[in-house]
Amino acid sequence: MPAAPTTPNESKRLAALRSYNILDTATEEDFDELTELASAICSTPIALISFVDKDRQWFKSRHGLDVSETDRALSFCAHAINSPTEILEVENAKEDKRFMDNVLVTGPMDITFYAGVPLVDVSGAALGSLCVIDSVQHKLNTIQRKALKTLARQVIDKLELRRKVVELDNTRTRIQRLNELLVAKEREATQIIEHTPTAMALHIGEDMEIRFANKMMLGAWGKDERVFGMNFKDALPELDKLDFPTTMRQVYRKGIHYEQKEAHMLYMHYGKLKEFYYNYAFTPLKLSDGSVWGVLNTAVDVTDIVKSRIAVERAEEQLRLAVQSAQLGTWSINADTYEFDASERTKELFGFLPDEVITYEAAVNQITEEYRDKVKKTVEAAIKENRGFDMEYAITGLHNGKLRWVRATGKLYSSGDGKAAQFSGTLSDITERKQDEQRKNDFIGMVSHELKTPLTSMKGYLQIIGQRANKLGDVPIADFTKKTQRQADKMQALVTGFLDVARITEGKIHLNNDVFDINDVMRAAEDELRVNCKGAHITFRLCDSLLINGDKDKMEQVLINFINNAIKYSADEPEVTITCSKDGDNALVIVSDRGIGIPAADIPYIFDRFYRVENTHVKMISGFGIGLYSCKEIIEHHGGTIGVKSEPGKGSDFWFSVPLSK
């Protein structure tokens, strides 16, 4: 038996069939009613709604048949659809050449009669057929044919309806999904608006009704949600003076964006008059035709930023005035590149013209030779080790050749944002002070020098008088002479001290270079003091031999100075202990007393020239504040260090440490 030829527009037909999504769906009463009716009208036991798929025919409804589908090659309907406008009626298939050997005819299904009306949809595609089948021969009458055609149309109508319902369902599902999406988006948008650090409000209409405001805006206004729906003016009388509604109305009418930066506002906020700075904007919200439907008010509170900037500007101005009135120069060195930035005053101090470029090297070049290297090294070390910088040095002016003394102080400022740190500071002219010091020094040096010779001859005469008085047995004169001699010794010590200071300041300190044991210095001091300090308890604790390189007399001078001070600044019965020890590669000498001690605030200055602690105790003890200064210079000239640990009322430990001889 030949299979029905495929329809000429098969792919289109199949696409149309698929568009109904009907294949392999469950049975539906609507369709079953139609097959039942067709079977009844045509008096056949079987009626089917059959759809012709690519390789099979599938029955949406099958009245009187158990099979749900058959091969397309066996299909009667596949024949029927080739003539979409006609009924295919086979009165006796057993005698019809087209079907006589069809297994549906010869087999257990035993088809004899077949009549099928093609199911043609609105697009003209023949999807299948509504057919009636019997195992006995039939011939349909006109009424039956007409009824079968009507029922076939009903099938198509139901199919269309079914598709519409499915489409409708899909559309409804889509709309529902869109709605959910819309609700989610709205929720997201509301959350974003609520949590944004920008205050936002939406105003509608000429009176700028408040339709919505986020928490930030309500906070800025000092209001709550009760203002929603109110006119701006009625809701916010506190802002009347700022006249926002007028501006907003302009934006509303003209459709032009308006904004203000750092606008200053003063208004009552939660019952208190407060000052604010705001960056705010009014943006017209437009429909697609360009008409404005509302105004969006956004505002950012920049009060803290503006106020701190104003404070910084004010501080900068004050600093500028202070720097100006103190005639300070300012400078800054890039810690990486050594790029140098100098104020006009700094340039002036270095002898540059105000509009001249001054580099770090050029500035260093103007420092006198004596200080140049020291300044460079100190600057470099201060930058590297993040230390403070405080130096006095002399400069020869570039153009004027003028010699000036300056004091430079500086500090490393790290930027903290990955940029290079800046080593910045000030420069002050100390020429006058230096000249004063120089004059003072010259004077001290000259006077001391002038006193030295008469004092020496005076001491010589006193010695002779003393010897004579002893010889004559004149005890009172011998005694007076001794006392006078002691006073002359004190005077000589003072004069020597002043001469030392003058020499040190001039840089003329001279040191012998011998190798000696530190214990010898201790012994010499002990001998000297045994004669002069009878009332004090002085304990010397010698150590193993420690050889050092330098000037033994000067070292002894330092030690005696420490011990004399320990006695001087102690109560009636001074207790002084002197120890020496090895401390790494150094010899360490400590002079401990249980005297008045030194306040912490004075300790950093104690080794400065002419420095004395200012208190009633010290005032009663004579001195010039030059002993420790000389000691420091002597120790440092030996490459050593000097210091003190002290507590007021408990005593002091003065120490020095000098390198051991190699």
| Contact residues: ligand ADP, CB under 6 A | 565-566, 569, 593, 595-598, 606, 611-613, 618, 623-629, 652
Closest distance between ligand ADP and the C-beta of residue 507, in Å?
20
Alpha helix ranges (H) inside 196-262: 215-221, 232-235, 244-254
Buried b (16+ CB within 10 A) or exposed e, 632-662: bbbbeebebebebebebeebbbbbbbbbeee
C-beta of 509 vs 618, nearer to ligand ADP = 618
Residues 6+ apart with CB under 8 A from 175: none
Closest distance between ligand ADP and the C-beta of residue 497, in Å?
8
Closest distance between ligand ADP and the C-beta of residue 622, in Å?
7
CA 220 to CA 345: how far, in whole Å?
48
Let me know: does 311 contact 290? Beta carbons within 8 Å.
no
The residue nearest ligand ADP at its CB is 623
C-beta of 151 vs 596, nearer to ligand ADP = 596
C-beta of 53 vs 593, nearer to ligand ADP = 593
Closest distance between ligand ADP and the C-beta of residue 575, in Å?
12
C-beta of 429 vs 633, nearer to ligand ADP = 633
Element (H, E) at 133: strand 126-134
Let me know: does 135 contact 112? Beta carbons within 8 Å.
yes
C-beta of 582 vs 617, nearer to ligand ADP = 617
C-beta of 540 vs 624, nearer to ligand ADP = 624
Q: Which two tokens stand for residue 369?
A: 């030779």
The end-to-end CA distance of the chain, in Å, is 126
Closest distance between ligand ADP and the C-beta of residue 307, in Å?
48
Nearest to 30 by CA among 128, 159, 171: 159
Q: Strands 199-204 and 292-301: what pairing?
A: antiparallel
Closest distance between ligand ADP and the C-beta of residue 642, in Å?
12
C-beta of 193 vs 494, nearer to ligand ADP = 494
Closest distance between ligand ADP and the C-beta of residue 400, in Å?
39
Q: Strands 575-583 and 537-541: what pairing?
A: parallel
Closest distance between ligand ADP and the C-beta of residue 554, in Å?
15
Paired with 591 in beta bridges are: 578, 654
C-beta of 245 vs 651, nearer to ligand ADP = 651
Let me know: does 128 contact 95? Beta carbons within 8 Å.
no
Closest distance between ligand ADP and the C-beta of residue 631, in Å?
8
Nearest to 135 by CA among 35, 61, 65, 206: 65
C-beta of 394 vs 606, nearer to ligand ADP = 606
On the 0-12 / 13-18 / 19+ scale of CB atoms within 10 A, 465 is middle
Element (H, E) at 574: none
